[in-house]
């Protein structure tokens, strides 16, 4: 089987099981959905990631609405199988051993995609190295760089130790695994029996590498001071070879030096940085953003690079609620393997769609009422907002005018709101955002029921994206690369009410798949807020309460138009055609 695998998929995080805390949010969930679709479609792929023994974090909101974090406790052996193979990497001159753990994803036709979780918690390693893979996105710059050495360089070496000798494409899911390119260059040189890198080596590595960039937000692109790179990675192992052997133009582009590259001292200058995104950009033959709009934004950000676009998707069978799965099995047999068949949702009787929706809604509200004692009602229009809590997501945009919201709820029709999402432990802006939502909840007590659910995870995400009536999204344009929660909602017939950014540029048909907020450029927040309230008051609530047949027609179009297209089966087929075999 290992000799049949030709594609290696590298990702810092991945969501494969509800109880495995090896992901933080959208990037990891996308990775898990990609692997599931690869298994369903028999794509000869193998996954590489890190074993986060302490996970991302367990979230708790205190009495003031401030987020507190705890390490996640889980029993690794219950989910993963330890393997005897080993690889090693050099970190600060020390030899650090890496052990792989195996998780197999089984597709519809029983095709298996192995995913290897890399772990440094071995007795042979120094105490400081045993915890290198413990925390997802934890620690300082040094910790993150060490993790990326383990993922990129260590991941390539683990594949060799496991006997994967026929890998033709290495797909980097974001720049965290960018150092993989350095290891591949080293392999090219050793295979040729040389000690210097040639232009042919560079082109060979480029042909092997695929790079997907996921965010236009600068904080999402890892970069490390060159003095740190020199100390941790030992500059002689990588950058001296670059200095002696690469064209000066390539080095300039990777390190973003705005003039001719003179000598090694300039590269190791403490004012220089190694940007992992630019490393991957320069050593990949295929580069893509994750939505058409994001591709446009990325081409502006990375002028001089050809950046294609493959819009993200979600794994349809995973994110479709049980009531809708039963409905599709009855009316659209074969939909799990051929998601495009979901276009036939237009023929499903409307009453059957509504019954499935209300069953999913009942599951969600029973959970919420049991966990929070907030008393949300089945017949009240329910708005959902769940994603990473950070400033540009603007989770509190809805509360710019609390009195207007109270008026709408009292005079036009009642509604209730469900929030969920974690802020990064070092993102005080995101934590403050959660706190403001909690304060708005208190300010509207007695008028509008609002709940903020702790520990947003796969299980909760599935309940939310299938059980609410309207899916709200309010990012700051153009900072939403794609977003996938609205795609999950669409599979369950839930229309989106969203700012025109990310995937919604492609999925939005006004009044048919949902509604837009504001205009395309997002330059006027006041106008966005006005649009939000106007459409809520004059369009969405009246349709929900007084034109149920119309609302059900929208639900069916969400499934038929967006559910049938915005899925990882379509997405991975595009990677196969455009990147993996080109």
Q: What is the pLDDT of residues 115-148, one digit of tens each?
A: 999 999 999 999 999 999 999 998 899 999 999 9
What pLDDT, on a 0 to 100 scale, did the predictor assign at position 348?
98
Whether residue 198 has pLDDT greater than 90 = no
What phi-psi label fits residue 106: left (phi over 0), alpha (psi between -120 and 50 degrees) or beta?
beta
pLDDT averaged over every residue in the chain? 92
Distance CA 129, CA 126 (A): 5
Q: How many CB atoms lie within 10 A of CB 548?
A: 12
Distance of CA 419 to the CA centre of its chain: 19
Scan for tokens 């069916």, then name that residue. 556
Mean pLDDT calculated for residue range 351-378? 98
126 contacts 94 by C-beta, under 8 angstroms: yes
202 contacts 246 by C-beta, under 8 angstroms: yes
Whether residue 35 has pLDDT greater than 70 = yes
What pLDDT, on a 0 to 100 scale, did the predictor assign at position 261?
43
372 contacts 61 by C-beta, under 8 angstroms: no
271 vs 50, residue with greater confidence: 50
223 contacts 274 by C-beta, under 8 angstroms: yes
255 vs 369, residue with greater confidence: 369
What pLDDT, on a 0 to 100 scale, did the predictor assign at position 264?
37
What pLDDT, on a 0 to 100 scale, did the predictor assign at position 245?
42
Mean pLDDT calculated for residue range 87-92? 96
What pLDDT, on a 0 to 100 scale, did the predictor assign at position 208?
98
Whether residue 227 has pLDDT greater than 90 = no
Mean pLDDT calculated for residue range 177-182? 95
Distance CA 374, CA 118 (A): 42
What pLDDT, on a 0 to 100 scale, did the predictor assign at position 332?
98
| 223-232, 333-342, 558-567: range with lowest mean pLDDT | 223-232
- Band of pLDDT at residue 255, cut at 50, 70 and 90: low
Distance CA 344, CA 329 (A): 12
Mean pLDDT calculated for residue range 63-89? 96
Whether residue 252 has pLDDT greater than 90 = no
> Which pair of structure tokens corresponds to residue 13?
């995080």
What pLDDT, on a 0 to 100 scale, did the predictor assign at position 249?
57
- Band of pLDDT at residue 199, cut at 50, 70 and 90: confident
- Band of pLDDT at residue 257, cut at 50, 70 and 90: low
Whether residue 234 has pLDDT greater than 80 = no
Q: Which helix (H) or strand (E) holds 321?
A: none
- Band of pLDDT at residue 197, cut at 50, 70 and 90: confident
Whether residue 54 has pLDDT greater than 80 = yes
Distance CA 390, CA 473 (A): 13
- 502 phi/psi in degrees, rounded to 5: 60, -140
- Nearest Cα to Cα of residue 152 among 48, 45, 275, 227: 48
Q: Facing residues of 273 across strands? A: 225
Distance CA 482, CA 12 (A): 18
What pLDDT, on a 0 to 100 scale, did the predictor assign at position 235?
53
Whether residue 446 has pLDDT greater than 60 = yes
Q: Which helix (H) or strand (E) holds 418?
A: strand 415-420
What pLDDT, on a 0 to 100 scale, did the predictor assign at position 2?
74
Mean pLDDT calculated for residue range 456-485? 96
Mean pLDDT calculated for residue range 448-471? 98
- Nearest Cα to Cα of residue 112 among 161, 171, 163, 42: 42
What pLDDT, on a 0 to 100 scale, did the predictor assign at position 200?
87
- Band of pLDDT at residue 256, cut at 50, 70 and 90: low
Whether residue 99 has pLDDT greater than 60 = yes
Whether residue 441 has pLDDT greater than 70 = yes
Whether residue 499 has pLDDT greater than 50 = yes
- Band of pLDDT at residue 221, cut at 50, 70 and 90: confident
Distance CA 282, CA 274 (A): 12
The percent of residues in the chain predicted with pLDDT above 70, rounded, is 93
Mean pLDDT calculated for residue range 546-554? 98
- Nearest Cα to Cα of residue 147 among 171, 181, 187, 175: 175
Whether residue 270 has pLDDT greater than 90 = no
Whether residue 282 has pLDDT greater than 80 = yes
Whether residue 5 has pLDDT greater than 50 = yes
Q: Which helix (H) or strand (E) holds 95?
A: strand 94-106
What pLDDT, on a 0 to 100 scale, did the predictor assign at position 236?
41
- Band of pLDDT at residue 254, cut at 50, 70 and 90: low
- Band of pLDDT at residue 519, cut at 50, 70 and 90: confident
What pLDDT, on a 0 to 100 scale, did the predictor assign at position 76?
97
Side-chain-side CA neighbours of 349 within 13 Å: the count stands at 4
- Band of pLDDT at residue 582, cut at 50, 70 and 90: confident
Scan for tokens 């792989």, then name that residue. 100
Tell me, what DSSP letter sits at residue 76?
A: G
């Amino acid at each position: 089987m290992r000799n049949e695998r030709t594609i290696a998929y590298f990702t810092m995080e991945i969501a494969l099981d509800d109880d495995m805390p090896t992901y933080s949010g959208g990037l990891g969930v996308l990775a898990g959905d990609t692997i599931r679709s690869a298994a369903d479609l028999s794509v000869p792929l193998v996954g590489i990631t890190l074993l986060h023994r302490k996970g991302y974090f367990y979230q708790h909101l205190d009495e003031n609405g401030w987020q507190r974090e705890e390490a996640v406790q889980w029993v690794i052996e219950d989910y993963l199988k330890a393997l005897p193979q080993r690889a090693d990497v050099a970190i600060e001159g020390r030899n650090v051993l890496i052990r792989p753990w195996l998780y197999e994803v089984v597709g519809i036709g029983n095709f298996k995609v192995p995913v290897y979780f890399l772990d440094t918690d071995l007795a042979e390693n120094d105490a400081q190295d045993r915890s290198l893979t413990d925390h997802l996105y934890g620690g300082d710059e040094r910790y993150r760089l060490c993790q990326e050495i383990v993922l990129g360089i260590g991941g390539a070496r683990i594949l060799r130790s496991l006997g994967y000798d026929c890998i033709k494409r290495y797909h980097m899911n974001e720049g965290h695994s960018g150092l993989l390119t350095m290891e591949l260059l080293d392999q090219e040189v050793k295979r040729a029996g040389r000690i210097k890198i040639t232009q042919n080596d560079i082109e060979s590595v480029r042909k092997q590498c695929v790079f997907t960039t996921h965010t236009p937000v600068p904080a999402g692109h890892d970069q490390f001071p060159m003095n740190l790179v020199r100390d941790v990675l030992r500059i002689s192992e990588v950058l001296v070879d670059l200095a002696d052997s690469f064209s000066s133009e390539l080095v300039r582009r990777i390190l973003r030096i705005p003039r001719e590259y003179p000598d090694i001292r300039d590269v190791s200058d403490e004012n220089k940085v190694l940007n992992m995104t630019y490393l991957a950009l320069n050593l990949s033959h295929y580069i893509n953003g994750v939505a058409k709009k994001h591709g446009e934004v990325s081409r502006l950000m990375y002028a001089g690079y050809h950046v294609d676009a493959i819009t993200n998707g979600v794994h349809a069978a995973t994110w479709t609620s049980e009531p809708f799965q039963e409905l599709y099995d009855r009316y659209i047999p074969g939909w799990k393997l051929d998601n495009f068949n979901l276009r036939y949702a237009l023929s499903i009787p409307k009453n059957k769609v509504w019954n499935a929706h209300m069953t999913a809604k009942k599951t969600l509200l029973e959970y919420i009422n049991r966990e929070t004692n907030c008393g949300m009602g089945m017949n009240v229009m329910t708005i959902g907002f769940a994603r990473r809590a950070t400033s540009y997501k603007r989770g509190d945009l809805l509360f710019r005018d609390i009195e207007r919201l109270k008026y709408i709820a009292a005079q036009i029709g009642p509604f209730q709101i469900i929030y969920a999402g974690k802020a990064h432990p070092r993102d005080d802006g995101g934590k403050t955002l959660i706190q403001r939502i909690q304060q708005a909840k208190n300010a509207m007590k007695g008028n509008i029921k609002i709940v903020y659910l702790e520990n947003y995870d796969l299980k909760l995400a599935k309940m939310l994206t299938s059980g609410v009536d309207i899916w709200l999204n309010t990012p700051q344009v153009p900072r939403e690369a794609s977003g996938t929660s609205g795609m999950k909602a669409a599979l369950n017939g839930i229309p989106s009410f969203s700012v025109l950014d990310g995937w919604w540029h492609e999925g939005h048909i006004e009044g048919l798949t949902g509604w837009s907020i504001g205009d395309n450029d997002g330059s006027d927040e006041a106008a966005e807020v006005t649009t939000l309230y106007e459409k809520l008051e004059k369009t969405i609530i009246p349709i929900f309460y007084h034109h149920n047949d119309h609302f059900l027609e929208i639900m069916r179009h969400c499934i038929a138009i967006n559910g049938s297209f915005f899925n990882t089966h379509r997405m991975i087929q595009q990677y196969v055609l455009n990147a993996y075999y080109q």
